[in-house]
A and B are shown apart, each in its own frame.
Chain A
Amino acid sequence: MRGVGWSLVLVAALLLAGCGQSDGKTHIYLQRFFGECGAEFGASTDVGKSEGECGIMTSMINRFNAENPDVQVDVNVVAWPGYPQLTAQMAARDPPDLVTMHSGVMSDYAAKGLLEPVEPYLGKAGIDPGSFTEASRLGVTMKGKVYGLPWDTHGGLWHVNTALFAKAGLMRGGKPMLPASPEELIRHARQFQARTGKPYLIQSLVGDPAGAARNQYTYMMAQGAGIFPDSRHIRLATPEGLRVAAFFRRINVEGLGTLDMDTPAAIAAFMSGEGGIYPTGTWMIGSFEKEAASPGRPLHRSYAVFPFPRLWGERLEYVGGHAWAVPARERSAKQKDAIARFFRFMAAHNFDWARTGHIPAFKAVLDDPKFKSLPHRADIALLGEIGRPLPSHVRRQSAIEGLVGEEMAAAVTGQKPVEAALRDADRRVNELLGELD
């Protein structure tokens, strides 16, 4: 029993130690994902010298605190993606002042009045929503209101091994030749495989529903398909949907892509030079670029990256984005002012964030020669213009992506007939949307 007594004393001491905070500063409570890297960047304010999402983010917030001595941003790092915690905080009426949020989940919170429209903060910070890229603006706008400060666009890219492409005779003018139609893709893939003995596409089709959904959404959008005709329904089992799924099934029937890889395996395979193209996101650019700069590595000086090529219809691509959202709660005028200043600071440093590989959220940064001079950025900047999020009336986008991705992976790998997978995806998503209040 003595042990219990000591435990209680210890608990009481810790509770008392945690009380009190009177430094005369205006505190705003910021919650973010992207991990913890305090050991490396905990004291850094040199944003330009920081690296990686976590490093750049940490340095930026440190810098903001240093430049605004009357404000203290208290940071809470949450396990990715942080929505279970945020939802719990909202249920307990104790949400943070600022939170990192994917544009795809904003509709869930905004629809329930849990986010503040941010126009007043933007106005105070002197930020015009018209300065956002098209992809970013669409991602944070719901029913005509802006619910977050966008600060990047991320989406699918084709990461290319140019050494293998050269061996396959698929380089022209120092650039890889990407297909402009389904038939051309098949021709290229066959040629690639015949000359290199390796698969044209490295695909992570195991446990990566987001990747499979991204592909399906992108090429259906390009064909002008209305994937979500209203807020309660999805329509994938359409001629456009069938065309996309059946085509990627055909690629796999011909053995032109890998089938049994999860994300880590696919990344390792691409880095090891085991295939021509790895369709994955903007977030991998930094890692692949590092490989490309390392002598002796299979990707050394053999890496290029581009948005998904146009195979059908218009050149559009499904994208998402990160934004700073402001959960609804009571705040003092000083806290509101601090949030506006934080927005202004983040907008001014959007270029720094773009060094992570994400596409800037501001047109001026996207067009800035400084951005385009970063490795590969000139090739992928287009994503800021052709990127399209799902319609803002669609809620539960993350859950839907999981369902669609699962069915599409089953379709293209042959676990299910393509038509059945599309129908099943429609049914499952419609059931989910039908349950929303």
Chain B
Amino acid sequence: MERGRLTPVGWAALVFGALLMIAPLLWTILLSLKDNAELVGNSGAALHGPYTLENYTAIFGNGSTMRWLLNSAIVALGTTAGVLVLASLAGYGFARLDFPFRRTLFVIVLLGLAVPSQAIILPQHQLFAWLHLHNSYPGLILPGLIGPFGVFFMTTYMRGIPKELDEAAKLDGASLWTIFWKVILPLTVPAQSTLAVFTFLGTWNDYWWPLISATHSDMYTLTVGLAAAQMNYAQTSGLGFLMAQAVFASVPIFIVYIVFQKQIVSAMAGTAVR
């Protein structure tokens, strides 16, 4: 759509829509800058001063916050890296290689899309207990690597890459690994970016598995740690602190959105998949 062709009514609608979208964020930020006691009786106090940074000071005053932030970063980055590696390799195998039961295996992988994580949480927890992997980074990262969506996504993308490229490389004496590494993989960067962004965001925001696997506070991720730091009646007597936590936890996500805006938009528009 060309900017010059937008009518005043269109502009007004856009501005209205943007304000509507940004209002809850502004409200959250304003609440986070208010004294908790002032908000207990009237949350409307957020609309006027005095404002304070004490809720943010309390977050940083907790010695564990930076540790939780680091844990989240390690788990989210580790999971993202693992998913990219595994999904790319599996996608290449399903898209390019011919081996027995390939179709059957692919269907089995796809069936994984229909299994909600809650359905397997008990045996998964038991398995990790037997392996002594709770309260460890592998314990937090490994379940996230089971990504049928990633495999499906990369398989579909790689199938769209012309096979003539593989054949030309073969004529030049390239091995399967070289074809994968030097020919196919560089062409999948848009899909890799999209998959990376979604995996990172999903892992960063995950609450349920870290809650029951990371039961020692030094292994909490940010979502679990911030929840643990809340008082029982945070929504009433600690509203400002609660909102400051929300703002703090969303900053890294916000940065990811800003940096990878193009990939996210193209993924949403479906243009990352050929």
Could you list which residues of chain A lie within 8 angstroms of chain B, going by C-beta atoms?
Answer: 3-4, 7, 10-11, 14-15, 18, 33-40, 42, 52-54, 75-81, 84-85, 87-89, 91-94, 263-264, 267-268, 271-272, 283, 287, 290-291, 297-298
Contact = CB atoms under 8 A, between A and B. Distances in A.
A14 B66 CA distance: 14
B61 A7 contact: no
Given A3-B81, A91-B129, A287-B237, A33 B74 contact: no
Interface string B218-239: 1000001001111111111111
Given A283-B233, A287-B237, A76 B215 contact: yes
A37 B60 CA distance: 11
A35 B232 contact: yes
Contacts of B64: 36, 38
Contacts of B211: 79, 84-85, 88
B236 A76 contact: no
A264 B234 CA distance: 10
Contact of A7 (B60, B74, B216, B232): B74
Contact of A39 (B62, B70, B85): B62
Contacts of B57: 39
A88 B62 contact: no
B78 interface: yes
Contacts of A264: 43, 235-236, 239
Contact of B126 (A15, A36, A91): A91
B114 to A, nearest CB: 25
25 contacts: A11-B78, A33-B232, A34-B232, A35-B228, A36-B64, A36-B228, A36-B229, A38-B63, A39-B58, A42-B62, A75-B217, A78-B228, A79-B227, A80-B232, A81-B232, A88-B211, A88-B212, A88-B215, A89-B215, A263-B233, A264-B235, A268-B41, A268-B43, A283-B233, A287-B236
A42 B61 CA distance: 9
Contacts of B212: 84-85, 87-88
A88 B74 contact: no
A65 B235 CA distance: 32
Contacts of B216: 76
Contacts of B43: 264, 268
A15 B235 CA distance: 35
Given A34-B232, A35-B231, A38-B62, A271 B213 contact: no
| Shortest beta-carbon contacts, A-B, top 9 | A39-B61, A36-B229, A271-B41, A88-B212, A92-B129, A79-B227, A35-B231, A4-B81, A79-B228
B230 A88 contact: no
Interface string B86-99: 00000000000000
A74 to B, nearest CB: 9
B239 to A, nearest CB: 8
A374 B58 CA distance: 29
Given A34-B232, A268-B42, A272-B42, A10 B37 contact: no
Interface string B137-159: 10000000000000000000000
B136 interface: yes
A42 B65 CA distance: 14
Nearest to B71: A14
B134 interface: yes
A267 B137 contact: no
Contacts of A4: 81, 85
Contacts of A42: 61-63
B95 to A, nearest CB: 21
B215 A94 contact: yes
Given A7-B77, A35-B228, A271-B40, 7 more contacts: A3-B81, A4-B81, A37-B58, A88-B125, A263-B235, A267-B236, A272-B42
A83 to B, nearest CB: 11
A80 B41 contact: no
Given A7-B78, A290-B37, A76 B217 contact: yes
A7 B64 CA distance: 21
A79 B230 contact: yes
Given A11-B74, A94-B215, A291 B41 contact: yes
A79 B70 CA distance: 19
Contacts of B41: 267-268, 271-272, 291, 297-298
A75 B216 CA distance: 9
Contact of A36 (B60, B62, B81, B129): B62
Contacts of A290: 37
B77 A40 contact: no
